[in-house]
Amino acid sequence: MHYSAGRGVVRGMASALMLLLLGGGVGAQRPAQNPLFRNIELCNGADRSLPDIQIGGCTALIDSGKQPPQTLVIAYNNRGNAFSAKGEYDRAIQDYDQSIKLNPNYARAFNNRGVAYQKKGEYDRAIDDFDQSIKLNPQYTSAFVNRAQTYLNKGEYQRAILDYDEAIRLKPTLEAVWNGRCWSRAIVGELQAALADCNEAFRLKPDVAATLDSRGLTYLKMGQWDSAIEDYNEALRIDPRLASSLYGRGLAKLKTGDTTGGNTDIAAAKAIEANIVGDFARYGVQ
């Protein structure tokens, strides 16, 4: 699983695992034609594919001047999620600030603000928020995963592994967490352990490009060129523009003597992701 700045919480998964909405809990069930109920429904993400609609529902609740503080806490948080989904991270942070101001013990808003800071590349501020989120809720798997990704972006791989350890303890059925630890372990050279993690991720959810990409890197670092190429082929079948799989496959092809194929893949990877050579150098592969 390749984590990198600006690529989302989990590659291929954007921030789907990490930007969580507080579904429900804003108000009791009311007739669907009731405007208040409809705004609550929209603010809770009834149509998650349209963040502007969610923003409208939350804004109506916030601007009504009639909602209790506990409702506003969630409305600001959810509107922050919608702004974050649009890539408007500064506006998202402003809303998370308001949510936290109204309820300083709301772990979810700290986690979500951390994600927004992480997306902006403000890693230390992100980690501070994840720390606080975990302090408030030590069982919050998402905060551990998000902090792990941030440590990965900073190149602090061992600290990322520790957070994945905790996330796996809390939620062992989550494929992406095993995949994240596989990727981290592959980078630091714990290759047999990485392979076991990737295989568990694959068992939980087959045919995920990110898992195949992670296992491809593991095989690449193990010197098992054919196995690496096979996994990279499958990853690219699912996601043809996965730069790390193109670059990794290119390196593996060069090792097998396929100079033309290897150079073609490497050139394609560089065209998609300009920093790919430096990324792999940090992973211990050149």
pLDDT tens-digit map of 69-78: 999 999 999 9
For residue 49, the tally of other CB atoms under 10 A from its CB is: 8
How far apart CA 254 and CA 225 sit, in angstroms, is 9
Residue-level pLDDT at 19 = 32
**240-284 pLDDT, tens per residue?**
999 999 999 999 999 999 999 999 999 999 999 999 999 999 999
Q: What structural domains does the chain harbor? A: 211-286 (1.25.40.10)
Average pLDDT of span 226-240: 98
Residue with tokens 């902006």: 120
Average pLDDT of span 229-239: 98
> Quick one: which of 132, 160, 115 has its CA closest to 17?
115
Residue spans of alpha helices (H) in the chain:
35-43, 51-63, 69-85, 89-102, 107-120, 123-136, 141-154, 157-170, 175-188, 191-204, 209-222, 225-238, 243-255, 259-272, 276-282
Residue-level pLDDT at 34 = 72
**76-116 pLDDT, tens per residue?**
999 999 999 999 999 999 999 999 999 999 999 999 999 99
- Across all residues in the chain, what is the average pLDDT? 89
The fraction of the chain above a pLDDT of 70, given in percent, is 87
Chain centre to alpha carbon of residue 181? 13
Crossing angle of helices 51-63 and 35-43, in 10° steps, is: 130
The fraction of the chain above a pLDDT of 90, given in percent, is 81
What is the SS3 string spanning 115-178? Answer: HHHHHHCCHHHHHHHHHHHHHHCCCCHHHHHHHHHHHHHHCCHHHHHHHHHHHHHHCCCCHHHH
Q: Look up residue 156 and give its amino acid.
A: E
